[in-house]
Chains A and B, each alone.
Chain A
């Protein structure tokens, strides 16, 4: 199937308005005749479910946590971007658009990104109206901070808990609809398959995580807002339950996966402390507004107390290498610079895998109270985890997997290659290219859910005119049976290895071969090793308990089984892309001074992978990226 991005014609700045006018509408009285399934209740899912409910659609919303309020969006700390230009510092829709395209290393779709920048301003208004307590100035107006990759102050925040407050806003809107009966919520319910009838997504198969019951839900359209796949690396800043299951199973039903190798490694996370480590904790990028990143100039100094190292003996390497952005250089660049310093043997802390993030200067300049006010909760979190007081000694940080730019391929309407299946938020690939700028994921999730999908889904209903699905259709029964078999297969092995140990092994392999730096030899090795590991999984995994009960081991094993396949596609994609761009750094392709060397002539495309059957090579389709308003320049932050 050829990829049809369905980008509207006309000048970039007018595409969305034009499209909204051109697309078909469903009249208010008819909306209640359409059932919509929304899988996921994070920023993207909750905002979509609530808004669709308000419009009059009949919505069912699913999440695996015990409450929609706990989706991983809750953990976002730093903030959300919007082109409000409240600071009068030269921001505009066009600048936010440009920064995002450039930040994404010219690998995102221009029209989507422009729309994102346009609706960003509505998001802030919406959230304020819901009662999101954004930070304010003394005059009562909204406050802003700066984030990496931008030279304006456009990030809105609620202390260090912006994701929490935005999610609770969306959750409150969702609660209102649940109370009104337009949305029915299914917490502790995991989607395990998409059901396709006559080529259209017509529902899902789910497992009730408490009773173990497997059931079918039919709908006129299915929306996936299931978040990112960072946990394929085992260690990441994602919540323990984050997974690729929904998009992976949709992939097997015809929804192409785009750019799976684009993963973001965040530069400021708390370093790994030992083999027991179950996840990594992010220290928000906002800290780089005031913290200075450094390592000792000399290896010999690495074991000394940081305070005893003289100013002249410190290498503030971001300020040195990227003077115009300094400590606010974008994530991919900052992460690689940290790795480089550690690879040179100048890392600090246990295992020498850490760099300092130092607040001493900021405390001197602004006073302890200002720093406490801005980042208090982050300093507290740091102390809980490390036992160290970062007001007194510099934080130690190291890069960690944080976000996945790749995801299900979607067109301008956010519809996948499987008609009737829409994908929103981190689960899709659409807006961040090869690298996402800080504070732009929250923006994208809410843009998709509040302001894009509610329009585009109506167009699908009004133009596709599909027959009403029923969950008693044979396809549903067949899919249910498949899911039951899969579950039984996992439970029947009762081998010697725990799902965790197998997952850890996969993660380590991917981190080494498909992490911050990649090369062809390593990727080929991984591509050989992953199928072996997968085989080992299916021979030796020990999943305790039974199918018809609350069984966390079973839930987890199913997710690991999917990661075992997903990881392979990631490496395949990384191997195909013989260039470096954004978070995808192929060591063979770098400039003499070690920066990413893009190859626009050959690789200015989105790689969308099509599933061709179990144990068969997937087929790659290309969506060529065309830029009409921006010039594909070399990305420089020097």
Chain B
């Protein structure tokens, strides 16, 4: 099939961006979206032009590095699918596809459609951990954890930190990301001792980074490639509330 791409081009963080239009020829169904872009980039290089800068690494939907807004939807709008796992069989011959970066103040553009998501790391550094050092930990089976709890924790832990939730949110809120991490740890007995402190610290850092506030529209959940549930936000709010009350 032949497609037309409208791609956001921006030289760097300081300059203004614009859309450029490129043809994508002889695209086949089995290509992934990024493989389609690879081919377009090969053509651009051959024509002596600057290839489109976009992030990707594992190309298996797990590293969270890829990040495109495709036709207005982060990751292109296929349930539980990251951009790198989106395949061209979902597009039709002759279609025009718009490709943009994550747009959020807390995610400044580096070049074209690649953005800086270091804000997520800083939120993690504020409290996204259990305070144990290496060594001297009890036997793995010392604390039984019910399967239901372990599974729920795993549901939250599946977050890949891609930032699609932020990109989809009209307020560019990072609540789903923070809720996922807080829930993973706070659901487990190991995470219990620090649970209020953790929620408070991570939310405080999130606010500092310039993410907006959550109005629970659910747009984040809808685009999440790991289908992280909105209900974790409720858990975060509860742990945060008590944390704020206790002041720690």
Q: Give the shortest distance, in Å, between A426 (CB) and chain B (any CB).
A: 15
In the complex, what distance in Å separates the CA atom of A239 from the CA atom of B53?
17
Q: Does B247 contact A (CB under 8 A)?
A: no
Verify A131–B58 contact, CB threshold 8 A.
no
Verify B185–A131 contact, CB threshold 8 A.
yes
**Contact string, B84-119, partner A, CB cutoff 8 A, digits 1/0?**
011101000000000000000000001100101110
**Contact string, A86-100, partner B, CB cutoff 8 A, digits 1/0?**
100000000000000
In the complex, what distance in Å separates the CA atom of A142 from the CA atom of B142?
10
In the complex, what distance in Å separates the CA atom of A545 from the CA atom of B48?
10
In the complex, what distance in Å separates the CA atom of A544 from the CA atom of B130?
45
Verify A179–B138 contact, CB threshold 8 A.
no
**Closest residue on chain B to residue A126 by CB atoms:** B137
**Closest residue on chain A to residue B30 by CB atoms:** A273
In the complex, what distance in Å separates the CA atom of A67 from the CA atom of B118?
7
Verify B58–A498 contact, CB threshold 8 A.
no
| Cross-interface CB contact of B154 among A133, A241, A279, cutoff 8 Å | A133
In the complex, what distance in Å separates the CA atom of A164 from the CA atom of B159?
10
In the complex, what distance in Å separates the CA atom of A384 from the CA atom of B132?
38
Verify A141–B144 contact, CB threshold 8 A.
yes
In the complex, what distance in Å separates the CA atom of A50 from the CA atom of B61?
26
Please indicate the chain B residues that have their CB under 8 angstroms from the CB of A70 in the complex.
Answer: 57-58, 63-65, 161
Number of interface residues of A (CB under 8 A): 80
In the complex, what distance in Å separates the CA atom of A130 from the CA atom of B153?
13
Q: Give the shortest distance, in Å, between A142 (CB) and chain B (any CB).
A: 6
In the complex, what distance in Å separates the CA atom of A379 from the CA atom of B212?
36
In the complex, what distance in Å separates the CA atom of A84 from the CA atom of B89?
46
Most buried by A among B30, B42, B86, B129: B129
Q: A75-B60, A276-B38, A498-B42 known; A173 and B184 CB under 8 Å?
A: no
* Number of cross-chain contacts by CB at 8 Å: 226
Please indicate the chain B residues that have their CB under 8 angstroms from the CB of A173 in the complex.
Answer: 129, 132, 134
**Contact string, B150-183, partner A, CB cutoff 8 A, digits 1/0?**
1101100110110000000000000000000000
Verify B51–A552 contact, CB threshold 8 A.
yes
**Closest residue on chain B to residue A277 by CB atoms:** B35
In the complex, what distance in Å separates the CA atom of A140 from the CA atom of B85?
34
Verify B157–A128 contact, CB threshold 8 A.
no
Q: Does B230 contact A (CB under 8 A)?
A: no
In the complex, what distance in Å separates the CA atom of A140 from the CA atom of B133?
24
In the complex, what distance in Å separates the CA atom of A274 from the CA atom of B124?
40
In the complex, what distance in Å separates the CA atom of A561 from the CA atom of B179?
43
Verify B158–A276 contact, CB threshold 8 A.
no
Verify A178–B125 contact, CB threshold 8 A.
yes
A38-80 interface with B by 8 A CB criterion: 47, 50-51, 54, 65-70, 72, 74-75
Please indicate the chain B residues that have their CB under 8 angstroms from the CB of A329 in the complex.
Answer: none
Please indicate the chain B residues that have their CB under 8 angstroms from the CB of A500 in the complex.
Answer: 38, 42
| Cross-interface CB contact of A240 among B36, B56, B145, cutoff 8 Å | B56
In the complex, what distance in Å separates the CA atom of A124 from the CA atom of B139?
8
Q: A126-B135, A128-B140, A136-B147 known; A544 and B128 CB under 8 Å?
A: no
Q: Give the shortest distance, in Å, between A610 (CB) and chain B (any CB).
A: 32
Please indicate the chain A residues that have their CB under 8 angstroms from the CB of B36 in the complex.
Answer: 276
Q: Does A165 contact B (CB under 8 A)?
A: yes
**Closest residue on chain A to residue B156 by CB atoms:** A133
| Cross-interface CB contact of B58 among A47, A67, A72, cutoff 8 Å | A72
Verify A278–B34 contact, CB threshold 8 A.
yes
In the complex, what distance in Å separates the CA atom of A17 from the CA atom of B157?
36
Verify A451–B140 contact, CB threshold 8 A.
no
| Cross-interface CB contact of B55 among A66, A134, A172, A384, cutoff 8 Å | A66
In the complex, what distance in Å separates the CA atom of A134 from the CA atom of B86?
28
Verify B51–A553 contact, CB threshold 8 A.
yes
- Please give 8 more A-B residue pairs, beta carbons under 8 A apart, in addition to A70-B57, A131-B188, A550-B53: A126-B135, A141-B144, A164-B160, A175-B129, A239-B58, A240-B59, A276-B38, A544-B48
The 3 closest A-B pairs by CB, nearest first: A140-B144, A129-B137, A172-B129
Contact surface of A with B, Cβ cutoff 8 Å: 47, 50-51, 54, 65-70, 72, 74-75, 84, 86, 122, 124-131, 133-142, 158-159, 161, 164-165, 168, 171-173, 175-176, 178-179, 185, 187, 210, 239-241, 273-274, 276-279, 281-282, 380-381, 384-387, 450-451, 454, 498, 500-501, 542, 544-545, 549-550, 552-553
